[in-house]
Amino acid sequence: MEVYTSDPPARRRTDRIKVGIADFAVGDSESRLSTSGLGSCVGIALYDDRAGISGLAHAMLPAGEGREDEAKYVDTAVHALIVAMEGAGASRRRIRAKLAGGSTMFEFDSTDESVGDRNVAAARETLLALGIPIDGTDVGGDHGRSLELDGATGDLHVRSASAGTHTL
């Protein structure tokens, strides 16, 4: 017995994947990865357009080599995110990056760089060491940001109450 139906074939709805603070996630071409509350934290968006694999990390501090919570630190979060993306089918040779965040949210009477500046520097250094080009940035300033990475295009949508919305 054959069964006929007039229902259209099931379509997969776009996956929305929320990335928390000190967290990362990997998605495919039907995913939208998002994070909010980026102040001095840095958002690292990675994308392999040929494989359709994207990744987003929300890292709090610059360096954490040897520490357990790898997503909390920029250097270890980048490494962990790349490994996870490769496990999903991405190729390190094709991965491209975009960065956002790293604001100076509070002024201190110190000549040291802010945590935001150090986070951005750590992201740049780690990506450079791994041979991953940075295609766009929205870093620094004194405002918070929210991000959404489109897995179909690799576009990083950056929203800020004080600086508006734009796409990297």
Would you name the residues annotated as active-site residues?
41
Rounded distance, CA 149 to CA 20, Å?
A: 14
Question: How far is CA 63 from each of CA 60, 107, 116, 146, 150, rounded to the nearest angstrom?
Answer: 9, 22, 12, 23, 27
Question: How far is CA 31 from each of CA 63, 129, 153, 161, rounded to the nearest angstrom?
Answer: 29, 28, 10, 25
Point out which residues pair with 145 in neighbouring strands.
38
